[in-house]
Every structure is written in structure tokens, then in C-alpha cells.
Amino acid sequence: MATLSYNKLGLTGKILIGMGLGILFGLLLRNMLPDSPFVKDYITNGFLHVIGTIFISSLKMLVVPLVFISLVCGTCSLSEPSKLGRLGGKTLAFYLFTTLLALVVAVFAAVIVHPGDATLAAEKMNYVAKEAPGFAQVIIDMMPTNPVQAMSEGNMLQIIIFAVIFGFAIAHIGERGKRVAQLFDDLNEVVMRVVTLVMQLAPYGVFALMAKLALTLGLETFGSVVKYFFLVLALLLFHNFVTYSLLLKVFSGLNPFIFIRKMRDVQLFAFSTSSSNATLPITMETTEHRLGVRNNIASFTLPLGATINMDGTAIMQGVATVFIAQVFGIELSITDYAAVVVTATLASIGTAGVPGVGLIMLAMVLNQVGLPVEGIALIIGVDRLLDMTRTAVNVTGDCVASVIVAKSEGEFNEAVFNNTEAGKVAHSFNAQVHISENQSA
């Protein structure tokens, strides 16, 4: 009976159970057997590490083929250069707008709430900042010199550029191109099917990731930066639930509650993996099959968003910069605040969608406004939890943009969006995978 009702649970329910049990298991073990070498070697760094890493690897495994194949399909069907240009322009403008909005609110809130206490500066700083790349180099690096290398390194922007050029060429060579496009369409189906298979593993993967986190997370520094932590958290939640809902309503007239409900799985994946890139297969699957965005839009907006659109990261970087200035007793002028907003926008664009990079890129913002990079040492202890939460915000921002752009381009299926059952992943891999899917309507 018990297994029967477990099977009836949706994927979200199973992931939540995995998450809760994982945290419970980790905390219990941590308290019952503290400092046990057995737990450390065989459980934390053994079994949990293996399961958690395999789960994340299985997601990452799909990212490159999925982005390439899906984007080639998308570009083939967007063969007019003017449409492609308009789509690119709209998407970039929207991404920039939401990031700036997030930053202005974050910096403003940090100034008002004033989380930084000057006495913290006395704490030992032993953070050695990694060098953040310059902005010019970021632009140059977008052009692939070798697409195979770009794929082997998982360099998303280079893959995007190569796929767009490739897809564009396919669309312009007549009959032969049609045959190749058909092949890519079929390949896309195959990869999507593998995504749904990997999704079934999520409850176990999430269990391992959360248990390991509960066993290893050190919160020693938590007390001193508690105000910073809760301010960033509150701003992330505000952006996720209020700002995005308003944007969705204003720009597309759609019901934000439906959107929030359908985003749950994507957010859980993002939260547990702390990686926009690793979550990309689920983001694409959900946006296309549950939210009703057609492939030609989603395949373009989402990989781009996972790479450059990081509203959650920008919020952290904005608050962190103001916090560090306050801790070191450095007064910032209005021009400095403007510089924080601009450089944090660029830093969040340059942040890769993998765990913890937002904190490395924070060094670029601190350098720009002349603040001590060692200040990062203060917040590093609480960054893991904030990284998880901001990644969920980052991917939600990509989906909001995708829906709004798709709606404005007439590439959106509202019936799918409004149907609560649409695209739900069935429980067995062999069963019909997407329930009530109505993409072609």
C-alpha cells in the first residue's frame, strides 16, 4: 500500500520527500556520530558523494547535446534574419532590464537596512580572491575558435553562437536542409526523452545532495552575518514571487499563480544542484511542455539565460558590495552606487551557471569600486545556502523572459500554459511521457 501511494505522488512530492529525508538523515548522523571518520570516509565522502555527483553528472551530460540540438532546431524554424534579430534584441533587453531592476532594489535595500556592522572588520580575513576575467575578454571569448572544443569544455555562449550559425545555414539550403532539419528534430525528441528519464532519478540524487550538505555545512560564521543572509534571502524571495509575477502579468497578461506552480520542479532542481547549467534540461523541458513556449523560442532564450541572466546572483552581489563597504566603514557616493549597479550587472552576465561562481565574480565589482576583496571572507560561510536560493531565482528569471518573449512573438500555446496537467512527467519512463500535451494546437 505504502509503495502504491508513493508511486502516486508527483515528481515534486517525491523530490520534496527526498530533500526532507536527506536533511534529516544528515542532521541525525551529524549529531549522533560527530567527527566519526567512518561517517566522513564512507558516508559523506563515500556513498552520498557518489550518488550526488552521479546525479549532477547525469544532468550535465545532457546540457551540451540538448543546447546544440535544440537550438539548431529552433534556428532552422526562425530562418528569417529579421525575426532572429528581433528575438535576440528582445531577449537581451529583457534580461538586462530584470537584472538592473534586481540590482537597484538590492542596493537600495542594503543602504536602508544597513546589514554591515563595522566591528566585523576585525574578523580574520584569509580569503584569496581568484582573478575575475576582464569584460573585453568575455566578449572576445564568445566567438568559438573550435566548436568541438567549445562543446568539450561546455562553453555555452560559444555553443549558442555555433548552433545559431549552423541552424541558419540549414534553413537556407533548400531540400537538403529540410532533411537535416528533420534529423535534428528527431534527435531533439530523443534527448528530451533522456531528460525525462534523468528526472526520475531526482528524488534519490536530491536526497544524497541534501544529506551531504547537512553533514558538511559549517555555519560558524553565520551569527556575524545573519542580517546580510536574511536580507539577501528576503530580496531573492521578493524578486522570485513579487517582481516576476508582476512582470508576467504586465507584459503577458498571464496568471502568475499558474506559473509559480509549474515552476516548482525547476526550482527544486536549481536549489539542489546550485547550477543553472545543470538545471537547463529541466528548465527547457518545463518551459516547452508545461508552460507552452514553442521550441524555437525556448531553445534560444533558455541556454542564453542560463549563461548570462543571473538576477539572483546580481542581488547577492549588490547587497554584498554595500555590506562590505559598511563593514569596512567606507562611505560610498551616489556615483559609486551607480558603478556598483553597472559592474554587478556585468559581473552577473559573466557569472557561469555553476555553483559558487557568483562569489568569485563579486571580486570584479569590489575591485571596480575600490573595496577590499578580502571582504568576501566574511560572507563565504553563508554563501552555500544563498547560492542554492539564487540559482532558483536565476532560472525562474529565464523562464519568465521566455514566456513573455514567446507570447509577444505569437510562439506561445496558452492552452498548455493554463492546463495544470499539461506536460506533467509520467511516473514510468515507458509510459506516455507527457500528459495532455497539446503542443501542436
Residue of the chain from 358, 372, 381, 423 that contacts ligand ASP (CB under 6 A): 358
3 state DSSP class of 412: strand
- Select from 94-102, 144-152, 346-354, 402-410 the region that touches ligand ASP (CB under 6 A): 346-354
Residue 387 is a binding residue for ligand ASP (CB under 6 A): yes
Q: Residue 159 CB: number of other CB atoms within 10 A?
A: 22
Residue 356 is a binding residue for ligand ASP (CB under 6 A): yes
Shortest separation between residue 437's beta carbon and ligand ASP, angstroms: 28
Residue 274 is a binding residue for ligand ASP (CB under 6 A): yes
Binding mask 394-413 for ligand ASP (x = CB under 6 A): x-------------------
Residue 267 is a binding residue for ligand ASP (CB under 6 A): no
- C-alpha 233: how far from its chain's center? 16
CB of 147 or CB of 356, closer to ligand ASP: 356
Shortest separation between residue 149's beta carbon and ligand ASP, angstroms: 22
Shortest separation between residue 356's beta carbon and ligand ASP, angstroms: 5
Locate 414 and state its grid cell.
Answer: 496558452
Residue 380 is a binding residue for ligand ASP (CB under 6 A): no
How many H-runs (helices) and E-runs (strands) does the chain carry? 21, 0
* Beta bridge pairs of residue 434: 425
What's the farthest any 2 CA atoms get from each other in the chain?
71
- Select from 66-74, 120-128, 198-206, 354-362 the region that touches ligand ASP (CB under 6 A): 354-362
Residue 313 near residue 429, CB atoms below 8 Å: no
Residue 274 near residue 21, CB atoms below 8 Å: no
CB of 85 or CB of 133, closer to ligand ASP: 133
Q: How far is it, in rounded angstroms, from Cα 189 to Cα 198? A: 14
Burial degree of 233 (CB within 10 A; 0-12, 13-18, 19+): middle
- Select from 44-52, 71-79, 224-232, 349-357 the region that touches ligand ASP (CB under 6 A): 349-357
Locate 161 and state its grid cell.
Answer: 553562437
Residue 294 is a binding residue for ligand ASP (CB under 6 A): no
Residue of the chain from 44, 188, 196, 276 that contacts ligand ASP (CB under 6 A): 276
Residue 75 near residue 163, CB atoms below 8 Å: yes
Residue 281 is a binding residue for ligand ASP (CB under 6 A): no
Angle at 169 between CA 165 and CA 171, to 5 degrees: 120
Residue of the chain from 158, 351, 389, 396 that contacts ligand ASP (CB under 6 A): 351
Shortest separation between residue 232's beta carbon and ligand ASP, angstroms: 11
CB of 290 or CB of 390, closer to ligand ASP: 390
Locate 365 and state its grid cell.
Answer: 565589482
Contacts (CB under 6 A) with ligand ASP, residues 299-328: 310, 313
- Select from 100-108, 159-167, 178-186, 269-277 the region that touches ligand ASP (CB under 6 A): 269-277
CB of 225 or CB of 352, closer to ligand ASP: 352
Task: List phi, psi (to 5°) of 434.
Answer: -110, 125
- Select from 40-48, 227-235, 248-256, 356-364 the region that touches ligand ASP (CB under 6 A): 356-364
- CB neighbour burial string for 317-343, b if at least 16 within 10 angstroms, e if fewer: bbbbbbbbbbbbebebeeebbebbbeb
Residue 380 near residue 359, CB atoms below 8 Å: yes
Locate 144 and state its grid cell.
Answer: 568559438
Residue nearest to ligand ASP (CB): 358
Residue of the chain from 105, 217, 338, 354 that contacts ligand ASP (CB under 6 A): 354
- Select from 112-120, 198-206, 386-394, 398-406 the region that touches ligand ASP (CB under 6 A): 386-394
- CB neighbour burial string for 275-286, b if at least 16 within 10 angstroms, e if fewer: bbbbbbbbbbbb
Residue 353 is a binding residue for ligand ASP (CB under 6 A): yes
Give how many residues touch ligand ASP by CB under 6 A.
16
- Select from 10-18, 138-146, 273-281, 433-441 the region that touches ligand ASP (CB under 6 A): 273-281
CB of 228 or CB of 412, closer to ligand ASP: 228
3 state DSSP class of 425: strand
Shortest separation between residue 66's beta carbon and ligand ASP, angstroms: 16
End-to-end CA distance of the chain: 39
Residue 409 near residue 400, CB atoms below 8 Å: no
Q: How far is it, in rounded angstroms, from Cα 186 to Cα 8? A: 31
Residue of the chain from 303, 355, 381, 423 that contacts ligand ASP (CB under 6 A): 355
- Residues lying near ligand ASP in the complex (CB under 6 A) are found at 274-276, 310, 313, 351, 353-358, 387, 390-391, 394
